Structure 1
Amino acid sequence: MTREGCYRVRGLTYTIRSAAMHDAKQLEKLRCRIDGETENLDREPGEDYIDEKGFQQIIAADTEHPRHLFIVAEVKGQLVGFARCEGTDLKRTCHKVDFGIGILRDYWGYRIGHQLLSHALAWSEKNHIKKVCLSVLEENKSAINLYKQHGFEVEGVLKADKLLSDGMFYSSLIMGRYNDV
């Protein structure tokens, strides 16, 4: 669970809050739309599809698991972005979580990514998580800059990790941030 926050940037007011069961239908549509707007993510539109029931299951599991977080960005009752942290119960890796984020292209530039990431990092520190990990396409310079501003470091490179629509292979950066907890 995370604290709700309301923000106003360049005339846009939005809320960052924990995902709730009633968000499942919107999340189904939002994820498909985001996948079609950018090649920065792992999926093509419609791949690894999650329906409303699937999102209900994820929300329920994330709400119960102490090392899971699911937060959303909302504008006037419509979801425009989301972020998740997912950890495990394995003793050797329970100190860390994987972070992922998606925001509709129309809402880039309003610091929504910054706020989603800030909420996730505050949650991770509060829950004594030592490390937050993520993967980012090497061409996604704005995301890489955002992560570096929040203390992430490049820990490795996965060469020729993704094949994009231009027929070229691109590398992914593995980044991590250590919490002083």
Structure 2
Amino acid sequence: KEPEEIDLTLDDERKFIHNQNESKQNIMLLGFVDGEYVGNCSLMGMEQGRYHHRVSLGIALYQKYTGCGIGKAMIGKLIEIAREHQFEQIELEVVADNQRAIALYKKMGFEIFGTFPNNMKYKDGTYADAYWMMKRL
């Protein structure tokens, strides 16, 4: 989905980026092409001690920039950073019918470990399942 189809306002996006910048366990990469913002990719660490070895990955690109290698480059950089910070696994959720993203994640070493039925509910009342994927570092 295009970012404007997701129920976020520009103010919500600014708050999210600000919180990422202020966090001690999170990192966010912003993507730009010729000075134009194209999306972001982030790692979000878990605060509780028994989960410190895990980190979640999130990515959002404008549709017209998918398939250009931008997402692959950002994910690759965050995998490097996760290793440098001695995380042991990276996790993510992906909509089950997003075959392009799933293929990319698999190519980068992620595996599907489970399905979340009705994980997302869209404005029109329909639901989408999501896969839980993980990569051991």
**What is the TM-score with the length of structure 1 in the denominator?**
0.68
Deviation at 1:36, TM superposition (A): 2.0
CA change 1:117–1:54 in 2 (3 A) is closer
Q: Does 1:109 align with 2:67?
A: yes
Identity of aligned residues (%): 23
1:155 to 92, 99, 113: 113
What residue is the counterpart of 2:122 in the other structure? 164
**RMSD of equivalent CA atoms:** 2.2
Cα shift readout 1:146-179 (whole Å, capped 9, x = no counterpart):
1101111111101122223554322110011100
Question: Structure 2 stretches of 5 or more lacking a match?
Answer: none
One-letter amino acid of the counterpart of residue 139, structure 1? D
What residue is the counterpart of 2:46 in the other structure? 88
- The answer to whether the Cα contact below 8 Å between 2:117 and 2:130 also exists between their aligned partners in 1 is yes
- Written as runs of structure 1 = structure 2, the 5 A alignment for 1:1-181 is 34-37=2-5, 43-46=6-9, 50=12, 52=14, 55-61=17-23, 65=24, 67-165=25-123, 167-179=125-137
**CA distance in structure 1 between the partners assigned to 2:118 and 2:18 by the alignment:** 34
**What is the TM-score with the length of structure 2 in the denominator?**
0.87
Question: Structure 1 stretches of 5 or more lacking a match?
Answer: 1-32, 38-42
Q: Mean alpha-carbon deviation: is it higher for 73-82 or for 108-117?
A: 73-82
**CA distance in structure 2 between the partners assigned to 1:46 and 1:57 by the alignment:** 15
